[in-house]
Amino acid sequence: DPQTQDTIARHFGDIQLEQDQMRDVQHYSIFKTLSIPMHVGFVKSTSNKLTYGITGGISFQYHIQQSGRLLAADGTIINFSDDSYFRRVGLSTHIQTVLIFKGGDQWEFSCNPFFAFSLSDRIKSGAVITQRPFTYGLSLGIAKAL
């Protein structure tokens, strides 16, 4: 017994033990994408040097480069490269809030959280899985008027 250091039982000879193993593997895949967004929305300025609003729309994507590895349903690792496993063209929808703080006459600080959801399946037809990625992030910026 590991806690009391007492002997629970004694066995002599060969003993079969059950052993579980776990392996943690990380693969880094490369996706280079050209995205053309179309936004609509509203932005309003206040007298306190604050600009706020919300925009949304759709985005057309063309995947320029794609390579890496992914895990198949049976546990095997699949290597993929350009145009072998994923579609080149995609469409997604997105929404973004706009917050801009004006600091002085020439400086602006922006904080824009965004959410995007893919409308098209990224993996080519005939695959066992579907992939429609959901993306979120935060765009921070500082701008100075010249």
Per-residue pLDDT at 132 exceeds 80: no
Per-residue pLDDT tens digits for 53-67: 999 999 998 888 888
Per-residue pLDDT tens digits for 27-83: 788 888 888 989 899 999 887 789 999 999 999 988 888 888 877 777 778 787 776
Per-residue pLDDT at 130 exceeds 70: no
Q: Is 0.75 topped by the overall pTM?
A: no
Q: Which of 91, 111, 90, 96 is nearest to 39 (CA)?
A: 96
CA atoms within 13 A on the CB side of 115: 3
| pLDDT score at 83 | 66
**Rounded Cα–Cα distance for residues 124 and 132 (Å):** 12
The mean pLDDT of the chain is 82
| pLDDT score at 46 | 87
**Rounded Cα–Cα distance for residues 25 and 76 (Å):** 13
Per-residue pLDDT tens digits for 4-19: 777 777 777 787 778 7
Dihedral of CA 120/124/125/128: which sign? negative
